[in-house]
Amino acid sequence: MKKLNIADAAEYFGVSKEAIHNRVRRGSLQSVVENGIKMVILDDARVKPAVKKTVQARRTTVNNDRYYKLLEEQNAKLQSRVDVLEDETRSLRDQKELMLIEEREKIERIYKEKDEQLKNILSSIASKFMLDAPVQAEEEMLEAEIELAPLAVEEEAVSESISLNKYLKKQDFSEKKIKKIKARFKKIAKEDDRVVMVGSKLYIDTAKYDYSDIIR
């Protein structure tokens, strides 16, 4: 038989001090007060719970070790999976970058080919223009000479004439009648020698010819 204070008894049984006080109040533990200190009385029968507690603690420790080991194994598997996913992600990113580079190079080649085609077309057009330009210039000069020849004759013809518009404006005709007279002159201008046409203008010589059959 031995005596332990409350703190030692709690450590002995592996419980709290409050649990020891409860046991004393219930009578499951005997106690005495010596020099004002409560002492718990233990006999051989009270040693078994301590041993049982120690075995239980060991079992708990073993279970905890197994649990931690299982967690470590699972953590290692998860880490391995994360590494695999990171490698796959890195590979996909590299493939994407390679595809983008290839597409960009393809687009650049297409634009380069289009630029070359456009340059060739422009060069062909420029060459054709340079070859055709002298011929076209000669044709225009020839046409101008042909047009100027009759104009010289017509200028002599209209030197003593007056434009039909100017003549009609001096007359006391209505707008409606003026339009009808102009229409008659235009109709006979190419066939009647009394009317001279220069471009789109008509000229008459009232001192030389009579136009009463047209102006009526």
Alpha-carbon distance 6 to 20, whole Å? 7
What are the tens digits of pLDDT across the range 103-118? 889 898 888 888 888 8
* pLDDT averaged over every residue in the chain: 80
The per-residue pLDDT for 149 is: 44
pTM score over 0.95:
no
Tokens 């590494």, residue located: 83
**Is residue 215 within 8 Å of residue 180, measured between CB atoms?**
no
**Is residue 203 within 8 Å of residue 195, measured between CB atoms?**
yes
User: If we measure between CA atoms, which residue out of 148, 150, 180 comes closest to residue 164?
Assistant: 180
Q: What percentage of the chain reaches a pLDDT higher than 90? A: 24
